């Protein structure tokens, strides 16, 4: 479980050599191997520097320009989206206000229509009552006139019958005007 001091030192040495890779082998290499390693290492360093410089001078500006333009486009799109959202919220608020106004107008129109209907109903009812009262008054007037007409007709018939009866009873000539006056007095006394 616990390693001894020598074993721990060996484990540390092995970990360092493994981490250093080929550099750790330099102590065990020959001069030719070290020279080959140094040349390879130098070529890799030079290639990396050339690659870095090529990227820096040939591609860095176009790439940063593309990235900057893309960033500007994204920022513009975000700003446009924010503006569109603000416009949509404004339109929604406007539509909600218009909807509320329309509902209020509809309610007002319905209330006005109900009031007008009630007024028309009252007018029609009052007109019908007035028409019925007028017809009833006309009917009463017609009945009174009919009664007078009938009384006059009956009176005339009584006078005619009385006159015919009197002519038959009294064979002498009678003054018709005096007789009518007498008959009128008799009828007035009989009606009262």
Q: What residues contact 24, with CB distance under 8 A and at least 6 apart?
A: 16, 17, 18
Query: Taking residues 13-42, what's their average pLDDT?
Result: 74
Residue found under tokens 């007109």: 127
- pLDDT tens digit sequence for 66-78: 889 999 999 999 9
- The CA distance from 127 to 70, in Å, is 82
pLDDT for position 99: 92
Rounded to two decimals, the pTM is: 0.37
- Give domain limits for the chain: 5-191
| Residue (of 131, 190, 126) closest to 158 by Cα position | 190
Percent of the chain with pLDDT over 90: 34
Query: Taking residues 168-177, what's their average pLDDT?
Result: 60
| pLDDT band (50, 70, 90) for residue 188 | confident
- pLDDT tens digit sequence for 120-139: 999 999 998 899 899 888 88
């Amino acid at each position: 479980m616990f390693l001894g001091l020598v074993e721990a030192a060996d484990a540390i040495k092995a970990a360092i050599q493994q981490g250093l890779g080929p550099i750790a082998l330099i102590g065990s290499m020959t001069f030719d191997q070290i020279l080959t390693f140094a040349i390879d290492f130098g070529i890799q360093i030079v290639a990396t520097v050339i690659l870095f410089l090529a990227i820096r001078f040939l591609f860095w500006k176009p790439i940063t320009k593309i990235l900057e333009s893309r960033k500007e486009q994204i920022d513009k799109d975000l700003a446009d989206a924010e503006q569109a959202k603000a416009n949509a919220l404004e339109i929604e608020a406007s539509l909600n206000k218009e909807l509320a106004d329309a509902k209020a107008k509809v309610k007002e129109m319905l209330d006005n229509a109900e009031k007008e209907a009630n007024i028309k109903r009252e007018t029609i009812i009052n007109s019908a009552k007035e028409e019925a009262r007028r017809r009833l008054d006309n009917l009463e007037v017609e009945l009174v006139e009919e009664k007078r007409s009938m009384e006059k007709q009956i009176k005339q018939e009584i006078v005619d019958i009385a006159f015919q009866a009197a002519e038959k009873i009294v064979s002498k000539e009678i003054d018709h005007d005096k007789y009518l006056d007498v008959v009128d007095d008799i009828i007035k006394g009989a009606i009262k």
